[in-house]
Amino acid sequence: MYFLIGVIILIAFIVGLIIYFKIKIRIILDKHGFLGLNLKDIIQNARIEDQEIPKSLSSMDSIYMSNIKRDFPDLNIQELKSKTEKVILDCYNAIESKDSSGLKGKIKSFTDDLIADYNNKSVSFDDFKFHNTVVSGYKNENGVITISFGSSFQYFLNVDGKSVKTQDRARVEFIYIIDTDKVLNDKKVLGLNCPNCGGPIKSLGNKSCSYCGSGIKEIFGKIFTCNNIKRY
């Protein structure tokens, strides 16, 4: 008797869960305008949304700008945003031409990886357009200032004659070394590259780059240097 009651309760619980999830799914589909569409239509609409809606960015301008202005009152943040977009364009132009020789350090590595991803296919990024570029991070750690920018953009990706509208985004990192003595043993330094030749900087204790001879303190102590780029 108790066993039968338990089975009935279990069945009722399962049925209740099924009804609950059906209602939740209908609410979600209705919210996104998918109610009444079949699976094929839903996939097609999702694909269209992915092509037409710009990638979202988490703008931290309002949070970090006060700190940036405090530490660098004369810094033109719009100029760095423009440099961010130029770095991105330079990378994608290099992918088109399959020639990254004009790039350096991690920027070159990022581009070379994408060139390899496309193998020997003919690739172009037509009608390239930026939607927005925002401050996404700011850190002052161990003598190194880091400002990160997030940028969303679109293009028509043309691979071997087949064109697809694509929404994309990337994060670009700029660094400023304010005290080389504080970062001699910092692990972050192992990831820095000379902005003049692209060679790895293994120790800021050296007076000059071991590859091109450029003065280390002179390079990192005057300007914000683009140090990295990632898609996300």
Express each pLDDT in 129-188 by its tens digit.
Answer: 999 999 999 998 877 889 999 999 999 999 988 999 999 999 999 988 776 666 555 444
Of residues 97 and 206, which shows the higher confidence score? 97
> What's the confidence (pLDDT) of residue 147?
95
Helix spans in the chain (H): 2-31, 39-52, 61-71, 77-97, 105-117, 216-220
Query: In angstroms, how far is CA 106 from the centroid of its own chain?
Result: 14
Q: Report pLDDT for 44.
A: 53
pLDDT at 42 over 50: no
Least confident of 73-77, 186-190, 226-230: 186-190
Domains and CATH numbers, the chain: 2-49 (no CATH), 56-231 (3.10.450)
CB atoms within 10 A of CB 146: 17
Q: At 90, which amino acid appears?
A: D
- Cβ contacts of residue 97 below 8 Å, gap of 6+? none
Q: What is the C-alpha separation between 12 and 166, in angstroms, rounded?
A: 47
pLDDT at 216 over 70: no
Cβ neighbours for 154, distance < 8 A, ≥ 6 positions apart: 54, 127, 128, 129, 131, 165, 166, 167, 168
Give the residue with greater pLDDT, 52 vs 205: 52
Confidence of residue 61 (pLDDT cuts 50, 70, 90): confident
Model confidence at 87: pLDDT above 70: yes
Whether 83 shows a pLDDT value over 80: the answer reads yes
The residue among 171, 172, 189 whose CA lies nearest residue 180 is 189
Average pLDDT, the chain: 80
- Position 30 scores a pLDDT of 61
- Are 154 and 168 in contact by the 8 Å Cβ rule? The answer is yes
Q: How confident is the model at residue 189 (pLDDT cuts 50, 70, 90)?
A: very low
Highest mean pLDDT among 41-45, 62-66, 194-198: 62-66
Cβ count near 190 (within 10 Å)? 11
Q: State yes or no: pLDDT of 98 exceeds 90.
A: yes
Rounded mean pLDDT, 27-53:
59
The answer to whether residue 220 scores a pLDDT higher than 80 is no
Contact between 160 and 121 under an 8 Å Cβ cutoff? The reply is yes
Contacts 24+ apart (CB under 8 A), 14-21: none
Question: At which residue do the structure tokens 């108790």 appear?
Answer: 2
- pLDDT: is 21 or 70 the higher one? 70
What pLDDT shows up at residue 78? 94
CA 213 – CA 86 distance, rounded (Å): 27
